[in-house]
Amino acid sequence: MSPPAAGGLAGARGEGGGAGVGRVFVGAGCNRVVNNVSWGACGLVAFGAQNAVALFSPLRGEIVTTLPGHKATVNCTLWLPTKKDVLQIRSRERHYLLSGSSDGIIMAWKIDSGKGEWTHALQLPMMHKKGVTCLAGRMVSDTVSIFASTSSDGTVVIWKMEDEPTSVGSCEVSCLHSISVGPKPMVSLSLAVLPGQGGHLILAMGGLDHKVHIYCGDQSGKFIKACQLKGHSDWIRSLDFSLPVMMGSEEHSLFLVSSSQDRTIRIWKMNSDAVSSAHTTSRKEDIGIASYIEGPLFVSGNTHYQVSLESLLVGHEDWVYSVEWQPPTLLTDDEAHQPMSILSASMDKMMMIWKPEKNTGLWINSVTVGELSHSALGFYGGHWQPDGKSILAHGYGGSFHMWRDVGLGSENWQPQIVPSGHFAPVSDLTWSRSGEYLLSVSHDQTTRIFAPWRSQVSPGDVTCWREIARPQIHGHDINCVAFIQGTGNHRFVSGADEKVSRVFEAPLSFLKTLQHATLLKTDNSGDFDNVQVLGANMSALGLSQKPIYTHGPRETQSSISNDRPDSMETIPDAVPTVFTEPPVEDQLAWNTLWPETHKLYGHGNELFSICCDHEGKIIASSCKAQSAPVAEIWLWEVGTWKAVGRLQSHNLTVTQMEFSRDNAFLLSVSRDRHLSVFSIRKTDDGAEHHLVAKLEAHKRIIWACSWNPFSYEFATGSRDKTVKIWCVQDSSSVKLLVTLPQFHDSVTALAWTGRDRASNAGILAIGMDNGMIELWNISGGRASTDSSGSGSSPLSFACMLRFDPLLCHVSTVHCLRWQKSDSSDEKSALQLASCGADHCVRVFEVRDI
């Protein structure tokens, strides 16, 4: 499949024509549920990212799109045709993706691999009353698929999907049968076509009763219970049927592999000739070490099937969440070969490949890969690439881990680059002061840096956005962040659900990694000698990240002693590394920390908002508040780290603050529906401040504010679905200039960038509670930052662009930030970064303005 390039124009055109928006980057983590990931025969991996279905290309290692539509968390995905439908995959360009969410909704998406397009096909009839937990299916002909869904409501539903290749319309899905399984719901399913039965199907389901239940049926969808398989002693977490396998002189046999929270894997064999007396004798004569235990019989159509335990695999040390047969290969035009190879993934942080030993037939663990980092918390699932050359795991931390067999003649599995991102709502983000990278903070308690990584390995200068560092891994949800002045301007302050702000400074390892990422040979590389901190270590029982010092000539004895932290206080030491290629998850999680240099104490509640002036010398911070004394804004001086002001105006939490471009004013908005403008003047002793204006600006909570970079105009956005433009008059009052037409949902994020100073023209980016983003042209009004009223003209505004829903967030937009491109041309393309409650960080390019 060839999806559009990540930087390609993929959005709606502006209402006035001319403007367009392209997707540059999407960073998102995987929902932390078991059946969330599916690797399709089209080559794309689908996974749930909060309420969206995300698709990523393993070849490029980046997310290519997110599909909106669900209103609740996506629990499971399924591609049709599946990797097992090798006969139906040939020369097929239309694929379907099914997704189930925690509100019981199942949706179907049509993916055209020839054109690289994806569209919403349909929403299935509401059959489940609770969350959908697993989907399993197979194609029974070139146009018909049968699939099953299970839910925590105790039902399993059988569906039929019909697709007419010549039709331009969507597929048709109908409900064939609903099976009630009682008070203990099923959490895993697998569906297969019985060999030699002309379309008869077999459905395996497992769940909370520790048993594997076998149902038989046909394409009409009527399934009846055939038998149950006992042996596991805990929940059944995964099931997978193989394709029929020819074993010696026997007829085709079908294998079922099951995994459980009892840490074991069982392989069940279903043999259609087991009750034939002619074959029974010969089979008993061949019993060896790999003999199996006979189990129950069941009948499907006119054939009897004997179920037996082929093997019990013991090797994992924790719950085995996933098992999957290696995808079959096509030998001829009408024959598929099933490799005898199984991939398992467990919460013991390991994935294993199991194969029968050639001489004895005993199943053994032939390959083990995993994450040895103490910060990893295990795998929720493992998946084969359709050609069997790569394996993919998704973990507890929302992360992906991929290994590829790069060996020649012998197996050599090496880690590969995969997408990464937050696995909880992203609360704030900011561009670095130099604009080289993006820093985001999240309720997943991490701070992450994303940057365009330029590679010259392939022809041309190829740029792909990657996560290059994880400066802060915390024990509290992080709510806000701002860059401040520092050495090389790589210093930031963050606020979390605690009463203290923390200051971090870039270590030497990051500065050199950034140089490799940008391929820039900076002239200030000599400054690296002045950076004595190589990286940071995390204390085992603390929240502070302690520095790891270099052994440079300027190193002092005290720093040497600090370089040997007490072993009782730290877990295995981090190894700060200079990366010449994008780091993988195991490296990001431990070896890219930044040292914490200062703490700012003062607030009485959890930090909520933070900002810095444009010189990076004054920090303003606010916390969650329900009274005026607690709601005050604190001012801090960078360098001395002293509190130089406490601004009192609001009665409830201050939701956002921003300094005017010349740092003369500080604007704040609050839950108390008021805005405040403070005059700020830097002095030798810190800062002087006084309240210029305070007024009730909206009828509901004000979530966002942003200054016009060219003048003393600013915008506010509120839950009342309005955006208002204001201006500061004569440095003593605030006047309402205009109210934009009401929006479709609450306004939660604003960002104003300038385009033409002479006409005071700019673009206001507006993010909403439903995830949508709009761009508005704002021009006229006051054309300068002088305090007089001269030169004013009527303010004009117009909506220039509404982003395509495929580009947008699927939940609340929390923050928008503009970044000017390197070009000095004011008509050049702009980059806009956004983050939201859907766990995503997105970067757009706005062109042809």
Q: What is the pLDDT of residue 273?
A: 58
Residues 24-52, mean pLDDT to the nearest whole number: 93
Beta pairing, strands 20-27 & 38-39: unpaired
Q: What is the pLDDT of residue 817?
A: 95
User: Model confidence at 521, in pLDDT bands (50, 70, 90)?
Assistant: low
User: Model confidence at 804, in pLDDT bands (50, 70, 90)?
Assistant: very high
830's CB contacts (< 8 A; 6+ apart) are 753, 763, 818, 819, 820, 821, 845, 846, 849
Residues 374-390, mean pLDDT to the nearest whole number: 86
Write down the number of H helices and E strands in the chain: 5, 62
Q: What are the extents of the domains in the chain? A: 321-419
* CA–CA dist 392, 343 (Å, integer): 10
Q: Which amino acid is at 658?
A: E
- Residue whose C-alpha is closest to residue 762's, from 823, 711, 825, 804: 711
Residues 609-628, mean pLDDT to the nearest whole number: 93
Collapse the DSSP code of 709 into the 3-class scheme (helix H, G, I; strand E, B; otherwise coil) and give the result. Answer: coil
Q: What is the pLDDT of residue 13?
A: 45
Record the pTM. Answer: 0.89
Give 175-185 pLDDT, tens digit per residue.
999 999 888 89
| pLDDT exceeds 90 at position 33 | yes
Q: How far apart are the first and last CA of the chain?
A: 32
347's CB contacts (< 8 A; 6+ apart) are 318, 319, 321, 377, 378, 379, 380, 396
User: Model confidence at 570, in pLDDT bands (50, 70, 90)?
Assistant: very low
Structure tokens at 15: 């209402």
CA angle at 205 for the pair 203 and 211, rounded to the nearest 5°:
130
How much of the chain, in percent, has pLDDT values that exceed 90?
55
Phi-psi region of 622 (alpha: psi -120 to 50; beta: other; left: phi over 0): beta
> What's phi and psi for 516, nearest 5 deg?
-70, -35
In which residue are the tokens 């203990």 written?
Answer: 184
Q: Which residue has the higher pLDDT, 784 or 302?
A: 302
Residues 685-706, mean pLDDT to the nearest whole number: 91
Give 697-727 pLDDT, tens digit per residue.
999 999 999 999 988 999 999 999 999 999 9
* CA–CA dist 468, 514 (Å, integer): 8
Q: Which residue has the higher pLDDT, 134 or 111?
A: 134
Question: 216 with 226: CB under 8 angstroms?
Answer: yes
- Residue whose C-alpha is closest to residue 262's, from 300, 216, 223, 313: 313
Phi-psi region of 231 (alpha: psi -120 to 50; beta: other; left: phi over 0): left
* CA–CA dist 28, 840 (Å, integer): 5
| pLDDT exceeds 50 at position 24 | yes
Strand order in the sheet with 106-112: 74-80, 94-101, 106-112, 117-123
Q: What is the pLDDT of residue 288?
A: 43
* CA–CA dist 151, 447 (Å, integer): 35
User: Model confidence at 825, in pLDDT bands (50, 70, 90)?
Assistant: low
* CA–CA dist 725, 592 (Å, integer): 42
Q: Which residue has the higher pLDDT, 65 or 221?
A: 65
Structure tokens at 659: 């300094």
Q: What is the pLDDT of residue 15?
A: 46
Question: 196 with 251: CB under 8 angstroms?
Answer: yes
Give 431-457 pLDDT, tens digit per residue.
998 888 999 999 999 999 999 988 755
Of the listed ranges 182-191, 326-335, 541-550, 777-786, the least confidently predicted one is: 777-786
User: Model confidence at 290, in pLDDT bands (50, 70, 90)?
Assistant: very low
Residues 342-364, mean pLDDT to the nearest whole number: 92
Q: What is the pLDDT of residue 553?
A: 34
Residues 588-603, mean pLDDT to the nearest whole number: 89
Average of per-residue pLDDT values in the chain: 84
| pLDDT exceeds 60 at position 470 | yes
| pLDDT exceeds 90 at position 284 | no
User: Model confidence at 376, in pLDDT bands (50, 70, 90)?
Assistant: low
